[in-house]
């Protein structure tokens, strides 16, 4: 009998306090993450980013240039856990409208 894999919570928190031009992606999980890559989809330009390892508590900064604050798109985040399993997460880059 096949037993389903236990759910795995996305190990990131997004700090949007400097949106819509900068976002900080924080590893809030309990393990280091490997082979992290970020790809922007949408208006404006966000340089592709790849990082070999992101330890718990550490963060990555994402910069978006030339986009309307209401239409900055999404970033696809790809990473591997220590067991080498691969995950993808699509995060919205809409800024905190209260910060205006």
Across residues 76-89, what is the average pLDDT? 96
What phi-psi label fits residue 99: left (phi over 0), alpha (psi between -120 and 50 degrees) or beta?
A: alpha
pTM above 0.85, yes or no: no
Banded model confidence at residue 95, pLDDT cuts 50, 70, 90: low
Q: How many CB atoms lie within 10 A of CB 2?
A: 4
**d(Cα 18, Cα 25) in Å, to the nearest integer?**
12
Q: pLDDT (tens digit, 9 = 90+) per residue, 57-82?
A: 999 999 988 877 777 788 999 999 99
User: What's the angle, vertex CA 67, arms to CA 63 and CA 68, rounded to 5?
Assistant: 130
């Amino acid at each position: 009998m096949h037993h389903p894999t236990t759910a795995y919570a996305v190990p990131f928190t997004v700090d949007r306090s400097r949106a819509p031009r900068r976002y900080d992606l924080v590893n809030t999980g309990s393990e280091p993450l490997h082979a992290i890559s970020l790809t922007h989809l949408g208006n404006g330009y966000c340089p592709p980013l790849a990082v070999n390892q992101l330890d718990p508590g550490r963060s990555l900064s994402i910069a978006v240039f030339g986009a309307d604050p209401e239409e900055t798109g999404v970033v696809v985040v790809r990473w591997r856990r220590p067991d080498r399993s691969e995950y993808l997460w699509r995060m919205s880059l809409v800024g905190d409208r209260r910060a205006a």
